[in-house]
Structure 1
Amino acid sequence: MKHIDVTVIGGGQSGLATAHALLHRRLRPVVLVASDRVAGSWPRYYDSLTLFSPARYSSLPGIPFPGADRDRYPHRDEVVAYLTAYADRLNAEIRTDCRVTAVRRADDVFSLKLQGGDRLSAWAVVAASGTFGRPHRPALPGLEEFTGQMLHAADYRTPAPFVGRRVVVVGAGNSAVQIAAELAKTVRVTLATRRPVKFAAQRVLGRDLHFWLTRTGLDSAPLGRLLPRPPAQPGLDDGRYRAALAVGRPDRRPLFTGADGAELLWSGGEREEVDAIVLATGYHPDLPYLARLDGALDAEGNPGHREGLATDVPGLAFVGLEWQRSLSSNSLRGVGRDADGIARRLAAHLASR
């Protein structure tokens, strides 16, 4: 059987940036995409989502983000169009509708099983499938007893289905605040958090925060190796969200203490009927196809790696993890740096075979 140089699993920003970096090292990657199109999870994010970084800081290697206004914050659909065009210009083999169900390794060769039963073999594998497929649903008090609607932010699209209903959004990150503020324009919403929401100014001294992160080098500093787990990050705000919280649209409360049917129990003893809870509580790495590859994942399904290179499986790498190497590892503006480092190290690994 002919072996592929490097199989890249995932066709979003991480997989495309990795394919670009591998091509520059004269390797021949094959990109496997589970869905019928590239762009990763972007087409499935909520309708109003915009990037938190301006267009000038939101490009993958080799192709700038398009548009004359370099300081605008691109909309979700602009990102989808950009990633689609980026894939079209890559001289890489991209196979859609190819969901990987299992990866094994024997005699220095990886065997990949696809949904439907087909198999591929490769000298190296890059897991670049992101996190959107594995939403984090924490064990919050009373959730098992709650009889109202409960969904994760991964399933949220627009405020329309919630008009006239009482909604609680759980979380303190960018998505939680953005969704709660959007819902609060038409419905009564509470943002429930363990701690007060922390914000970072979107603009500092007349410049977007990303200008300063780039200028100081903090955006690309290899701090990931020093962190046992990704730290909580403040929400970025141009003043709108703090103002919305200040007037109670949405209001902010400490996390509820339990549930009784459709009622939530608040810390002051109040009971309140709630129609829906939206969990904006983040994601875990989405790597089920590595579950039976010895040494790839820990007991919780998280990858064992150092700056993206698997610690116990030679030839396996990860791209697009939060804080994989730096603050911007899982962003459009930063994933290219990580992908380039992985491509360099995989090229050295393959050359030593």
Structure 2
Amino acid sequence: MTQHTDVVVVGGGQAGLAAGYHLRRQGLDFVILDADPAPGGSWQHMWDSLHLFSPAEHSSLPGRHMPAQPGETYPGGGHVVDYLTDYEKRYDLPVQHGSRVDAVRRDGGRLQVEADTGTWWAKVVISATGTWSRAFLPAVPGRAAFAGRQLHTVNYRSPADFTGQRVIVIGGGNSGAQIAADLALDGQVEVTWATQRPPRFLADHIDGRALFDVATARRRALEEGPSDTGGVASLGDIVAVPSVRAARDAGLLVAKPMFARFTADGAQWADGSHTAVDAVIWCTGFRPALAHLALLHLRSARGHIPTDGTRALGEPRLHLLGYGDWTGPASATLIGVGRPARDAARQIKALCARN
């Protein structure tokens, strides 16, 4: 099947839906191709106890406020899935679920998008695939020799899967702190939390609302001159959500410096001591999922595609949305993706009008 359209959006999570909302407002013809068989983006794959950093009213996509979740200040992951599912239906966005894009290539004046459900020719492509499908595992000596179970954040669901086991959680960011807290508070798992550097907790009163304000202030500062406030990173790495605060205050969330190497049955620390381990959970982050753009030859040595806002410098018919600050300040968040999605849709409208 071969079809033509103004815009193909690759990815139907929060960034892809925000793009669809603004493309519709610009009167453009478009389709959203999403590899997942159901709505909800990466939120449908998160661990059971996950909650947002922000109240619902500060976690909304453009045009539709997220309703509050009864009994919860910070909505859970399932509530977000319900919200995104409703958002997709409310705006009748043309999302084709179960459609995985394998490649985007140049074809004369159009971009050819090859999916397992057919081929599209588009004037413009918006890549909004995020990072969840590309988990990162750092090189640690002896990792291949470890006989226990190894998982990444993407595979973790609940403490029930580790009852009676000894687990090391690796990573000093939000996912590492939240998963370590989830296991520790359960009381049925022996947890060790290992981090590359001492964890930096944000002040307890800081949540997603304040973080968005900081990111916005940084964007304005950068627009006005060379001054860089450092943004969210200047405040710390870990939002003290209720579960993290509870585990920390109970003395259950104490990080150890990263161990030196794996052994067959555990981890050996720099001082020579050894910890026997049944499982390791790598909370070591992600990389942008950009393999479908490889044939465009746009990636830099750092693995990113250089952009001006969301537009790729090496291919003006390609926009990237939702991967992090390099595609718009706070663009990897629900509330932050709306502005770069709006700006991208306006630029795409102007480009399509010329072609």
After TM superposition, the score normalised by the length of structure 2 is 0.89
1:279 pairs, out of 276, 279, 282, with 282
Give the deviation of 1:144 after TM superposition. Answer: 2.5
Q: What RMSD over aligned residues (CA atoms) do the two structures have, in Å?
A: 2.8
**SS of the residue 2:125 aligns to:** strand
2:297 pairs, out of 286, 294, 299, with 294
Give the deviation of 1:260 after TM superposition. Answer: 1.9
Matched, 1:331 2:342: no
- Alignment match, 1:152: 152
- Alignment match, 2:351: 349
1:322 pairs, out of 311, 314, 324, with 324
**Could you tell me whether the CA contact under 8 Å between 2:57 and 2:68 is conserved in 1?**
no
**SS of the residue 1:48 aligns to:** coil
After TM superposition, list the pairs within 5 Å mapping 1:73-152 onto structure 2. 73-115=74-116, 118-152=118-152
Give the deviation of 1:153 after TM superposition. Answer: 0.7
How far apart are the structure 2 equivalents of 1:51 and 1:2? 38
- Alignment match, 2:273: 270
1:47-67 deviations in whole A, cap 9, x for unaligned? Answer: 111001111100000110013
**Could you tell me whether the CA contact under 8 Å between 1:188 and 1:249 is conserved in 2?**
no
**SS of the residue 2:319 aligns to:** strand
Structure 2: tracts of 5 or more residues without a match: none
Residue type of the partner of 2:30?
A: P
Give the deviation of 1:330 after TM superposition. Answer: 0.5
1:313 pairs, out of 305, 312, 315, with 315
1:302-342 deviations in whole A, cap 9, x for unaligned? Answer: 32322221110121001111113554210001101110111
Give the deviation of 1:239 after TM superposition. Answer: 6.8
How far apart are the structure 1 equivalents of 2:41 and 2:346? 24
Give the deviation of 1:93 after TM superposition. Answer: 1.9
How far apart are the structure 2 equivalents of 1:238 and 1:231? 17
**Could you tell me whether the CA contact under 8 Å between 1:308 and 1:317 is conserved in 2?**
yes
**SS of the residue 1:31 aligns to:** strand
Residue type of the partner of 2:274?
A: R
- Alignment match, 1:50: 51
Residue type of the partner of 1:27?
A: L
**Could you tell me whether the CA contact under 8 Å between 2:145 and 2:262 is conserved in 1?**
yes
Give the deviation of 1:257 after TM superposition. Answer: 0.2
How far apart are the structure 2 equivalents of 1:68 and 1:291? 41
> Which sits farther off after the overlay, 20-29 or 323-332?
323-332
- Relative to its length, the structure with more helix (as a share) is 2
How far apart are the structure 2 equivalents of 1:217 and 1:227? 11
> Which sits farther off after the overlay, 324-333 or 104-113?
324-333
The structure-2 alpha-carbon separation of the partners of 1:71 and 1:212, relative to structure 1 and needing over 3 Å to count, comes to farther
The structure-2 alpha-carbon separation of the partners of 1:194 and 1:299, relative to structure 1 and needing over 3 Å to count, comes to same
After TM superposition, list the pairs within 5 Å mapping 1:190-205 onto structure 2. 190-203=192-205
Aligned residues: 348
The structure-2 alpha-carbon separation of the partners of 1:223 and 1:255, relative to structure 1 and needing over 3 Å to count, comes to farther
**Could you tell me whether the CA contact under 8 Å between 2:58 and 2:208 is conserved in 1?**
no
How far apart are the structure 2 equivalents of 1:212 and 1:102? 35
The structure-2 alpha-carbon separation of the partners of 1:2 and 1:252, relative to structure 1 and needing over 3 Å to count, comes to closer
**Could you tell me whether the CA contact under 8 Å between 1:284 and 1:302 is conserved in 2?**
no
The structure-2 alpha-carbon separation of the partners of 1:7 and 1:249, relative to structure 1 and needing over 3 Å to count, comes to same
Residue type of the partner of 1:260?
A: T
- Alignment match, 1:234: 237
**Could you tell me whether the CA contact under 8 Å between 2:133 and 2:289 is conserved in 1?**
yes
